[in-house]
């Protein structure tokens, strides 16, 4: 297993991330955290805000990670909570996804019918699909990461696939 | 199928510029002006809201006389001077009433004004609290650590409502203060929620399932949490005391000269025909003499 070169080896406690340690962690996990936040937020502007907040939390945290996987798992959880908190804010509770934000999101990436349909799924299904198909986590690991029952994970992945199948037809299955 | 989903997620890739910019902000958080950030939040909240319920009191001086510290502006609409900003409607159609679907019944508003010395809000049945982006008021209004604890390892937070909610909130302002609109006032039906959450969320129902009274425990919990991704749990009001479904927020606004204005918001919570919880609110002016 890869060691954390910038951590103080042999110590169980890291007082606070140094700039170097944070930059290294940022390089390791930035893309993943960005994708998770985008998956949950649905537009670039809010995603950038959320990603920034996640790494500021890491910078200020006093967590001791046993390895990179532990660090990664913690960041995934924080990212999820950050996005959830963001949606709790008062204007978001009552704001629907407006045309302008949709437009912004579409213009910042190439159109992809599969991704468009993935982004139209409920958030909890999107995250389960992302962690399972893209990050390659096992269903049991996703259950631990998200703090939910493994059967719920299975249901979410199955339901996500079913929805995509219905919306995209058989083509995505290569038939 | 797996590869197509994977390729789809691969498209959500940040650019190097984004990566560098965010890293700079993370490493130098002081460069981000909190004031600006707060203003952006307020701006986004106001301008982007489509369904937001925001109550605005336009309190600006219209009389130049020095002994009148503030007065209500007269709006050009016919039916009153105070309007509820309602993004479902055009501005010309704002009224002093609003009806808002809300699975966790609450009401949010802010007060715009000038030369206000004190704002005192009181409600009868439920609770009030304040979100203070200016950090000039009581700490619990801007520091979540006062009313909730957070376990970093498990990423779980515990909320202590008794540390935040009050029947009466009173805010005082210096003469130099101008950012009244950056303080948000919230009324929340906490007692109703607590009642509904008893016996494993026994009073929650999903949108459109009002007619289906016999839900399994699992269905009920899923509906209450919105965990099925399709519906938020709404509160079935049947059995809750009718008088407690109504509330009145009394707003007493005092300027630095001691002049007092009183406004009242009447609130009524109902279930609509598809079982959603709806908060109806209406502004009314109270003649000062009524308070004596």
A112-117 long-range contacts, CB within 8 A, separation 24+: A112/B7, A112/B8, A112/B11, A113/A168, A114/A164, A114/A168, A114/A172, A114/B4, A114/B5, A114/B7, A114/B8, A115/B8, A115/B9, A115/B11, A115/B12, A117/A163, A117/A164, A117/A167, A117/A168
How far is B45 from chain A, CA to nearest CA, in Å?
A: 5
What is the per-residue pLDDT for B225? Answer: 55
Nearest CA in chain A to B100: A94
Token pair for B3? 């590869």
Q: Which residues from chain A sit within 8 angstroms of residue B56, using beta carbons? A: none
What is the per-residue pLDDT for A172? Answer: 44
In a domain, B14, yes or no: no
Structural domain boundaries, residue B72: 31-190+242-285
Count of domains observed in chain B? 1
Pick the CATH number of A110-175 from 1.10.3260.10, 2.40.50.140, 1.10.10.10, 3.30.590.10: 1.10.10.10
What is the per-residue pLDDT for A37? Answer: 92
How far is B91 from chain A, CA to nearest CA, in Å?
A: 18
What is the per-residue pLDDT for B138? Answer: 93
In a domain, B218, yes or no: no
Tens-digit pLDDT profile for residues A89-124: 544 433 333 333 343 443 455 567 888 888 888 888
- The B-side interface with A (CB below 8 A) comprises 1-2, 4-14, 18-19, 21-23, 25-27, 29, 41, 44-46, 48-53, 100, 102, 108, 131, 152-153, 155, 184, 186, 227-230
pLDDT in tens, chain B (292 residues): 778 888 888 888 888 888 888 888 888 765 444 444 444 444 444 333 323 334 444 433 332 322 222 222 222 233 333 444 444 445 445 456 677 777 788 887 777 777 889 999 999 999 999 988 888 999 999 888 899 887 777 767 788 999 999 999 999 999 999 888 778 888 899 999 999 888 777 787 755 454 555 666 666 666 555 544 444 578 889 899 999 999 999 988 888 888 888 878 889 999 887 777 888 888 765 544 344 3
Would you list the domain boundaries of chain A?
15-97, 110-175
Token pair for B10? 């691969």
pLDDT in tens, chain A (175 residues): 333 433 333 333 344 567 788 888 899 999 999 999 998 888 888 888 889 989 988 887 777 777 888 888 889 989 988 888 776 554 443 333 333 334 344 345 556 788 888 888 888 888 899 999 888 888 888 888 887 888 888 888 888 888 888 777 654 444 3
- A15-97 placed in CATH 1.10.1740: yes
Nearest CA in chain A to B29: A56
The answer to whether B8 contacts A77, with C-beta atoms less than 8 Å apart, is no
Nearest to A35 among B12, B19, B41 (CB): B12
Please tell me the pTM assigned to this model: 0.48
In a domain, B127, yes or no: yes
In a domain, B261, yes or no: yes
């Amino acid at each position: 297993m890869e060691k954390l070169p910038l951590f103080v080896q042999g110590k169980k406690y890291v007082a606070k991330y140094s700039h170097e340690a944070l930059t290294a962690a940022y390089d390791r996990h930035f893309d993943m955290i960005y994708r998770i936040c985008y998956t949950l937020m649905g537009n670039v502007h809010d995603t950038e805000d959320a990603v920034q907040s996640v790494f500021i939390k890491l910078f200020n945290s006093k967590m001791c990670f046993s390895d990179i996987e532990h660090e990664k798992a913690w960041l995934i959880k924080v990212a999820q909570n950050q996005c959830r908190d963001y949606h709790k804010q008062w204007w978001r509770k009552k704001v629907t996804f407006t045309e302008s934000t949709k437009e912004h999101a579409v213009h910042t990436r190439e159109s992809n019918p599969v991704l468009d349909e993935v982004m139209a799924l409920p958030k909890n299904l999107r995250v389960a699909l992302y962690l399972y198909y893209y990050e390659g986590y096992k269903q049991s690991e996703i259950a631990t990461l998200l703090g939910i029952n493994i059967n719920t994970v299975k249901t979410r992945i199955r339901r996500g696939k079913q929805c995509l199948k219905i919306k995209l037809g058989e083509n995505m299955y290569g038939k | 199928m797996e590869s197509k989903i994977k390729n789809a997620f691969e498209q959500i890739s940040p650019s190097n510029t984004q990566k560098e910019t965010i890293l700079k902000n993370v490493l130098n958080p002081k460069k981000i002006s909190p004031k600006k950030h707060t203003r952006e939040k307020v701006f986004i909240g106001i301008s982007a809201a489509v369904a937001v319920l925001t109550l605005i009191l336009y309190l600006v001086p219209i009389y130049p006389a020095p002994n009148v510290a503030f007065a209500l502006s007269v709006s050009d609409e016919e039916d009153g001077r105070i309007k509820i900003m309602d993004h479902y409607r055009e501005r010309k159609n704002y009224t002093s009433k609003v009806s808002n679907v809300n699975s966790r019944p609450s009401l949010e508003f802010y007060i715009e004004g000038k030369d206000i010395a004190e704002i005192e809000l009181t409600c009868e049945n439920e609770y009030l609290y304040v979100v203070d982006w200016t950090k000039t008021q009581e700490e619990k209004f801007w520091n979540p650590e006062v009313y909730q604890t957070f376990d970093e390892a498990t990423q779980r937070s515990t909320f202590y409502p008794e540390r935040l909610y009050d029947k009466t909130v009173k805010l005082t302002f210096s003469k130099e203060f101008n950012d009244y609109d950056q303080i948000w006032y919230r009324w929340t039906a906490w007692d109703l929620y607590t009642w509904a959450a008893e016996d494993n969320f026994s009073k929650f129902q999903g949108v459109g399932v009002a007619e289906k009274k016999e839900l399994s425990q699992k269905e009920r919990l899923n509906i209450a949490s919105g965990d099925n991704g399709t519906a938020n749990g709404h509160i079935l009001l049947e059995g809750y005391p009718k008088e407690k479904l109504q509330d009145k927020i009394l707003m007493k606004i005092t300027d630095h000269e001691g002049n007092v204005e009183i406004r009242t918001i009447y609130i009524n919570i109902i279930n609509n025909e598809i079982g959603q919880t709806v908060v109806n609110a209406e502004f009314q002016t109270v003649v000062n003499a009524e308070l004596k």
